[in-house]
C-alpha cells in the first residue's frame, strides 16, 4: 500500500476554486480528510496492468450521432425566463463580471 494521500489546505482551496465553491475554514479541514480518504481507495486500481488497454467512455458503441441542423419547436422567451430570480425585459440579470 502506498503512503497515505495528503492534501494541503492550499490544495483544497484550489480545488474548491476550480469547482466554483466557497468553503468555510471548517469545511476545508473536513474535506482535507474526506478527499484524501477517497483518493487512497483509488490506489487499488494500480494492481491492474492497463498499459495496453484502451479507455472506454461510451459503452454501447455509438459514435458521432448527428441530426439535421434545423430549427425545432423550443421554449418561448417567457418560459425560458420563468425560473430566473432577476430579469430585465427579456434578459437574465446577473452581477457585473467586469469592473
Partner 1 sequence: MKLNELTIVAALEGLKKRRFSAVELTQACLDQIKRVDPKVKAFITVCEAEALAAAKKADLELKQSSTKPLLGIPVAIKDNFCTRGVKTTASSKVLENYIPVYDATVVAKLKQAGVVILGKTNMDAWAHGSSTETSDFFTTLNPWDIKRLPGGSSGGSAAAVVADQTIFAIGSETAGSIRQPAAWCGVVGLKPTYGRVSRYGVIAMASSTDSPGPICKTATDAALVLQVLAGQDPLDATTSPNQVSDYSKLNLPKKLKIGIPKEYFLSGMSKAVVTVVKQAIESLKKAGAEIKIVSLLDPKYSVAVYTIIQRSEVSSNLARYDGIRYGNSRQSFGNEAKNRMMLGVYTLSSGYYDQYYNKAQKVRTLICQDFDRVFKQVDLLLAPTSPTPALLLGASAKSPMFGELQDILVEASSMAGLPGINLPCGFSKTGLPIGMQLIGPQFSEALLLQVGHQYQQLTDWHQRKPKIVISN
- Chain contacts with partner 1 (rule: CB under 8 A): 12, 15-16, 18-23, 27, 30-31, 34-35, 37-39, 41-42, 44-48, 50, 53-60, 62, 65, 67, 75, 79-80, 82-85, 92, 94
Looking at beta carbons only, is 47 or 89 nearer to partner 1?
47
CB of 69 to partner 1, least distance (A): 13
What ranges make up the beta strands (E) of 1-99?
87-88, 91-92
Residue pair 31/6 in contact (Cβ under 8 Å)? The answer is no
Closest approach of partner 1 to the CB of residue 8, in Å: 13
User: Which of 78, 96, 82, 27 has its CA nearest to residue 12?
Assistant: 27
Which residue, 21 or 29, is less far from partner 1 as judged by CB?
21
Residue 25 or 57: the one with the smaller Cβ distance to partner 1 is 57
Euclidean distance between CA atoms 25 and 31, whole angstroms: 10
* Nearest-10 Cα torsion for 23, 24, 27, 32: 70
Amino acid at each position: 500500500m502506498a503512503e497515505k494521500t495528503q492534501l494541503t489546505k492550499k490544495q483544497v482551496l484550489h480545488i474548491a476554486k476550480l469547482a466554483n465553491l466557497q468553503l468555510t475554514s471548517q469545511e476545508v479541514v473536513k474535506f482535507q480528510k474526506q478527499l484524501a480518504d477517497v483518493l487512497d481507495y483509488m490506489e487499488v486500481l494500480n494492481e491492474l496492468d492497463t498499459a495496453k488497454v484502451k479507455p472506454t467512455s461510451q459503452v454501447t458503441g455509438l459514435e458521432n450521432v448527428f441530426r439535421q441542423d434545423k430549427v425545432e419547436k423550443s421554449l418561448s422567451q417567457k418560459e425560458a425566463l420563468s425560473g430566473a430570480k432577476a430579469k430585465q425585459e427579456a434578459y437574465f440579470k446577473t452581477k457585473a463580471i467586469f469592473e
